[in-house]
């Protein structure tokens, strides 16, 4: 993660499936977003700039 003392506040969408097939998202310092697999919270974390995250979400919403 970006900062040694920073503890991210993870959340998942209210639209998430109850079977655990979802991701969790957390805001990070420096206008970044972290994403992790809910089923593997100790696993890899993807980091996106806020702009890239917004582009990804808009692309998904547009069905592209």
64 residues of the chain, pLDDT tens digit each: 445 788 999 998 777 767 767 889 999 999 999 999 988 889 999 999 999 999 999 999 999 7
List the beta strands (DSSP E) in the chain: 23-28, 32-37, 45-49
Secondary structure class of 56 (helix, strand, coil): helix
Q: Give the domain extent around 38.
A: 1-64
Looking at residue 15, its pLDDT comes to 73
Q: How many CB atoms lie within 10 A of CB 34?
A: 18
Total domain count for the chain?
1
* Token pair listed for 2: 């970006």
Cα angle 2, 45, 6; round to 5:
30
Please tell me the pTM assigned to this model.
0.77
Looking at residue 16, its pLDDT comes to 73
């Amino acid at each position: 993660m970006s900062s040694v003392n920073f503890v991210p506040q993870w959340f998942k969408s209210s639209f998430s499936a109850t079977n655990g097939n979802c991701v969790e998202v957390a805001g990070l310092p420096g206008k970044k977003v972290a994403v992790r697999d809910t089923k593997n919270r100790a696993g890899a974390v993807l980091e996106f700039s806020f702009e890239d995250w917004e582009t990804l979400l808009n692309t998904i919403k547009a069905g592209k």
